[in-house]
Amino acid sequence: MSAPPAKKLTIRQAAFIGVGSMVGAGIFSLLGAAGEVAGAAVWLSFMIAGAIAMLQGYSFAKFGARYPSAAGLLEYVSRGFGEGHITGIVAWLLFAANALITAMVAVSFGSYAASAISRGDSAWIKFFAVLVLCAMTSLNIMGSQAVARAQTVVVYVVIGILTVFAIATLANIQPDLLAFSHYPPFRDIVSSVALTFFAFLGFGVITFTANSLANPAHDLPRAMYIALGIATVIYIAVALGVFGTLTVEKVISSGGTAIAVAAEPVLGSAGFHLMTVTALFATAGATNAGLYPAAGLSEQMAAKGQFPPLLGLRVGGRAAAGLLITAGAAIVLALGFDLTAIASIGSAIALLVFALVTGAHLTLRKETGASTLLLVLAIVSTVAVLLTFIFTTLIHEPVAALTLLGILLLSVALDMGWKRVRKARLGEPRTA
């Protein structure tokens, strides 16, 4: 008897996978860093970053509606550039960035969990980081429906609490703290977009749901726009609430706990603890969503010959090897490296991949019906953010810059090496 067909994801479930991936560690850790550059105008920075993400989301949605695949945005790269080295290198880059960003989010979960029971002891941070990675890997092995159900719960909790926070703080803001006269020059606000855009990187995960949607041409664009719309509104409201309640100096000094600190004046000490719980839900959800693309990405790339066949296998008939390898790499990174020093490379890689995806789309725009103007705007704005990021952030982080260069070279070496091996195998004479 044949197995029953897998249940399809709804638009809401696909959108919530994206929201859960975006509203994770970013909003809880970015406010202080962004405030150093943009001051109280961080909400404007989020608005600009959201507009750029929408342009890329338009590109991804139109492409995905025409070519739905479990390989997500890598399917778009291969459609535009063929099955050569560009697609292979981008695939390895995305594989590495996915492991790195997932590890960073897991460590963020560990930091919040450890601070709740042991004042942030480093051993407990690593323990909880590994624990959430193992738990979310198990959830992903159970399939897309399990991931979607978990993300639905996470997103409802996070959005619900952040909505309460936004309403409470916005109702008690001090207008003078948000006065335009105190804003830095506009070029500084634009520079901060390189930081705030990091909070939107997770929307690319939605493209990996296309193959699980009942009607990708209809469902994927809607899921993309819903997810980006929810995230943008949340980010702007939270930024206005935080910087309308605390001075810029206080936000900067509060670091990753700025939201919790801003909650105290209006919600009391319970507000601080409530936001800590929210951070745990958000980072757990982002870890879950971060692991989601690994199975489809590795299996589809292995089927196309871009990855070794090993990455396309299913261990025990259920667990995707690509998922297990990604989770294992994330665990090694979480245990062995100071991710705060090198995590920004994940942002740089993602921006590069996004620009290449939309560049590939530009060559096939007649097939997808996409607007040439909007695609060009998406490419120009993403490249501008990437260059700004390099010259305002990476240039001051030599370890991150060298690590980024190392990952680029490793991706080239893996692609060249594997394809040389594959070519040699195909050229071998058959034996009896």
Q: Look at residue 278 and tell me whether its pLDDT is greater than 80.
A: yes
Read off the pLDDT band of 7 (50, 70, 90). Answer: low
The answer as to whether 223 is a domain residue is: yes
Chain-centre distance for alpha carbon 47: 18
The answer as to whether 385 is a domain residue is: yes
End-to-end CA distance of the chain: 35
**Closest C-alpha among 199, 14, 204 to residue 90:** 204
CATH number at residue 274: 1.20.1740.10
Cα–Cα distance for residue pair 268/259, rounded to 1 Å: 13
Read off the pLDDT band of 431 (50, 70, 90). Answer: very low
Please say whether the dihedral angle defined by the alpha carbons of residues 65, 70, 72 and 75, taken in this order, is positive or negative.
Answer: negative
Please say whether the dihedral angle defined by the alpha carbons of residues 276, 158, 56 and 49, taken in this order, is positive or negative.
Answer: negative
For 160, the 3-state DSSP assignment is helix
Average pLDDT over residues 403-424: 90
Tell me what pLDDT residue 206 has: 87
Query: Is 285 in contact with 24 (CB distance < 8 Å)?
Result: yes
Summary mean pLDDT of the chain: 84
The answer as to whether 36 is a domain residue is: yes
> Which tens digits make up the pLDDT trace of 232-257?
999 999 999 999 988 999 888 876 66
Between 299 and 394, the higher pLDDT residue? 299
Q: Look at residue 48 and tell me whether its pLDDT is greater than 80.
A: yes
Query: What is the SS3 assignment for 297-351?
Result: HHHHHHHCCCCCHHHHCEECCCEEHHHHHHHHHHHHHHHHCCHHHHCHHHHHHHH
CA distances from 313 to 89, 139, 307, 319 (A): 21, 18, 11, 8
The answer as to whether 427 is a domain residue is: no
The answer as to whether 4 is a domain residue is: no
Region of 143 (left: φ > 0; alpha: ψ -120 to 50; beta: rest) is left
Average pLDDT over residues 144-164: 81
> Which tens digits make up the pLDDT trace of 203-232?
888 888 887 888 888 899 999 999 999 999
Amino acid identity, position 242: V
List CB contacts of 79: < 8 A, sequence separation 6 or more: 63, 67, 360, 364
Average pLDDT over residues 290-299: 84
The answer as to whether 3 is a domain residue is: no
Read off the pLDDT band of 281 (50, 70, 90). Answer: confident
Tell me what pLDDT residue 393 has: 74
Read off the pLDDT band of 430 (50, 70, 90). Answer: very low
Angle between helix axes 122-141 and 85-118 (nearest 10 degrees) is: 130
The number of folded domains in the chain is 1
Tell me what pLDDT residue 417 has: 93
Tell me what pLDDT residue 4 has: 43
The answer as to whether 318 is a domain residue is: yes
Instruction: List the beta bridge partners of residue 9.
Output: 213
Residue 199 belongs to domain spanning: 11-419
Q: Which of 23-27, 65-69, 101-105, 355-359 has the highest mean pLDDT?
A: 355-359
Q: Look at residue 142 and tell me whether its pLDDT is greater than 50.
A: yes
Chain-centre distance for alpha carbon 116: 25
> Which tens digits make up the pLDDT trace of 166-186?
888 888 888 899 998 889 988
Read off the pLDDT band of 83 (50, 70, 90). Answer: confident
Question: What percent of the chain lies above the pLDDT cut of 90?
Answer: 24
Q: Look at residue 92 and tell me whether its pLDDT is greater than 60.
A: yes
- Report pTM: 0.81
User: Which two tokens mark 368?
Assistant: 């997808």
Average pLDDT over residues 302-331: 87
Average pLDDT over residues 55-80: 85
The answer as to whether 116 is a domain residue is: yes
- Token pair 């989010």 is found at 105
Tell me what pLDDT residue 399 has: 79
Q: Look at residue 67 and tell me whether its pLDDT is greater than 70.
A: yes
